[in-house]
Structure 1
Amino acid sequence: MRVEIWSDIACPWCYVGKARFEKALRAFPHRDEVEVVHRSFELDPSRAKGDVEPVLAMLTRKYGMSEAQAQAGEDNLGAQAAAEGLRYRSTGRDHGNTFDLHRLLHLAKERGRQDELIGIFYRANFAEERSVFAEGKERLVELAVEAGLDAEEARGVLADPAAYADAVRADEREAAELGANGVPFFVLDRAYGVSGAQPAEVFTQALTRAWDERSAAKSVESVEPGDADACGPDGCAVS
C-alpha cells in the first residue's frame, strides 16, 4: 500500500502531522508493506528566493494579526509539537521560499533517502537556531549530506534551476487535481484522503480502512471525521 503525503517544510502542522501519522504507522500490523512518498506543496510559491523574514513579522503582515496574537499561535504550535515529542522554536524562526528544498527532496526520493531528508529539514527549520533559508545553498547541502546524499550531487541540483523543477510542479498540479488546498494532505492507495494534522487514531482508522478495501476506489474519498489543523495559502490554523 502506498501513502502519499503532500506537505511543505514551512508548514508547522506538516511537522506535527508527520509525527502523528508515524505514530499510527508504527502500530499498524502491515507497516512493513506500506510505502510512504512525500509530495511537494509550496505554501508561498510567489515568494522570491532570498526573501527571508522573521515568522512573527510574516504573520503580522500577511494576516493582520497583532504580534501578541502571532506569538500566542506559535506558543500553541510549540505545545502541540511537544505533545508529539518534537522540539519547536516558538521564537526567532524565519520564513522563506521552499522551492529548492522540494527539489532536493525529489533527488532524495531517487536515492532512497527522502524520508530521512524531510525529517532533517523539519528539524532544521522548526527546532534549530540555524536557518534553512538565510544561510545559502551550502546549508542545504550540509543537511542533504546528513541525510545520506552526495554533496556534489546536491550542489549540482541547487546550481541548476531546472533540476527537478518539473517534478515539484507536477506534484503541485496533482494536489490541486485531488482537491488539496492545504497541507498536510495524506492520500492512501489513491482511494482515501486525510486532510490536516489529525490525531493518530484517525490515521489508524484510515490505514486500516485502506488496507481492508484495497480493491481501489477510482477517486479519493475523505475518511477524516472533520477538519483538522492544517496550513494553506491563507495561513496555518491554530486551535
Structure 2
Amino acid sequence: MKVEIWSDINCPFCYLGVHQFLEALGGFEHKDQTEVIHRSFELDPTQPRGASGEVVAHLAKQYGFTREQASQGEIQLGEKAAEFGLPYVTSGRDFGDSFDMHRLVHFAGESGRAEDMLLALFHANFADERKLFGSHERLVEIAAGEGFDEARVRAVLADDTRFAQAVRDDETLAHELKCQGVPYFVLDRHYVLSGAQPIEVYADFLRQGWEHYISGATST
C-alpha cells in the first residue's frame, strides 16, 4: 500500500498533519507493508529564490489580515500544536522560498531518508527560534545535524538544477490530482485526505485504504 504526502516546510498545518499521520502509522497493524512517499508543494511558488521575511507580515499581506490578527493566528496554531504534543514558536518566525529545501528532501530520498530531512526542516521552522529561510549555511547545519554528508549537501545547494525537476514533477502531479492545498494525503491514488487531522482520522484513513488494498489484491 502506498501513501503519497504533499507538504511544504512553510506550512504549519503540514507540520501538524504529517506528525499526526506518522503517529497513526506507528500504531497501524500493517505499517511495514505501507510505503510513504513525501512529495513537494510550494505554498507560494512566486517567492524569489532565497527570499526570507517575517511570517506575520507575510500572512497579513497574503490574506488581508491586520498584524494583530496574524499574530493571534500564530498563537492559536501554537495552542493546536500543544494539543498534538508538538513545540511551536509563536513569534519571530520567518517565511520564504522553500524550493531548495524540497530539493534537499529529494536528495535525502536517494538514501531512503526523505522523511528524516523533512521532519528536521519542519522542526527548524516551527520549533526553533532561529531563522530558517534564505541561508544555505542554515540548511547545511540542519542536514549535517541529521547525519547527512556536509560536502554532498553543499554540492546539491550549489547546483540549482539538482533535484529541481523532481520538485517540479511533484507539483505537476499535485495539480493533476486536484490538490489545491496541503497537507494532502493520497492513498493508492484512490483515497484522499487533506488538512491537519487528529490521529484517529488518519488511523481510519489507513484502515479504509488497507481494506481497499486487500480487496484489490485478492480479486486479481
Bin of the TM-score, shorter chain as denominator length = over 0.9
Structure with more of its chain in helix, by fraction: 2
CA offsets per residue over residues 96-154 of structure 1, 9 Å max, x none? 100000000000001111111111100000111112214x2121111112222211111
SS in 1 for 2:213: coil
User: CA offset at residue 215 of structure 1?
Assistant: 5.9
CA distance in 2 between partners of 1:65 and 1:7 (Å)? 24
> Which residue pairs with 1:185 in the alignment?
184
**Between the two proteins, what is the percent identity of the paired residues?**
50
CA contact (8 A) 1:125 1:132 kept: yes
CA distance in 2 between partners of 1:20 and 1:142 (Å)? 26
Of 64-73 and 177-186, more deviation after overlay is shown by 64-73
> Which residue pairs with 2:79 in the alignment?
79
> Which residue pairs with 1:67 in the alignment?
67
SS in 2 for 1:95: strand
SS in 2 for 1:162: coil
Alignment partner of 1:101 is 2:101: yes
CA distance in 2 between partners of 1:208 and 1:142 (Å)? 38
User: CA offset at residue 31 of structure 1?
Assistant: 1.2
- TM-score, length basis structure 1: 0.87
Letter in 2 for 1:79: E
The ranges of structure 1 where at least 4 consecutive aligned residues each deviate by more than 3 angstroms after the TM superposition are none
> Which residue pairs with 1:172 in the alignment?
171
CA distance in 2 between partners of 1:209 and 1:10 (Å)? 30
CA distance in 2 between partners of 1:216 and 1:196 (Å)? 27
CA distance in 2 between partners of 1:9 and 1:87 (Å)? 15
Letter in 1 for 2:187: L
Letter in 2 for 1:146: G
CA distance in 2 between partners of 1:32 and 1:50 (Å)? 38
CA distance in 2 between partners of 1:75 and 1:169 (Å)? 33
- TM-score, length basis structure 2: 0.94
Q: Residues 138-149 of structure 1: matches in 2 within 5 Å?
A: 138-149=137-148
CA offsets per residue over residues 8-34 of structure 1, 9 Å max, x none? 000000000012112211221111221
CA contact (8 A) 1:7 1:14 kept: yes
CA distance in 1 between partners of 2:56 and 2:163 (Å)? 31
> Which residue pairs with 2:10 in the alignment?
10
CA contact (8 A) 1:5 1:36 kept: yes
CA offsets per residue over residues 25-83 of structure 1, 9 Å max, x none? 12211112211111000001111123211111111122211111111110110011111
> Which residue pairs with 2:153 in the alignment?
154
> Which stretches in structure 2 are left out of the alignment for 5+ residues?
none
CA distance in 2 between partners of 1:191 and 1:29 (Å)? 20
> Which residue pairs with 1:49 in the alignment?
49
CA contact (8 A) 1:189 1:216 kept: no
* Count, aligned residues: 216
> Which residue pairs with 1:30 in the alignment?
30
SS in 2 for 1:36: strand
Closer, same or farther: CA 216–109 of 1 in aligned 2, 3 Å:
farther
CA distance in 1 between partners of 2:125 and 2:18 (Å)? 14
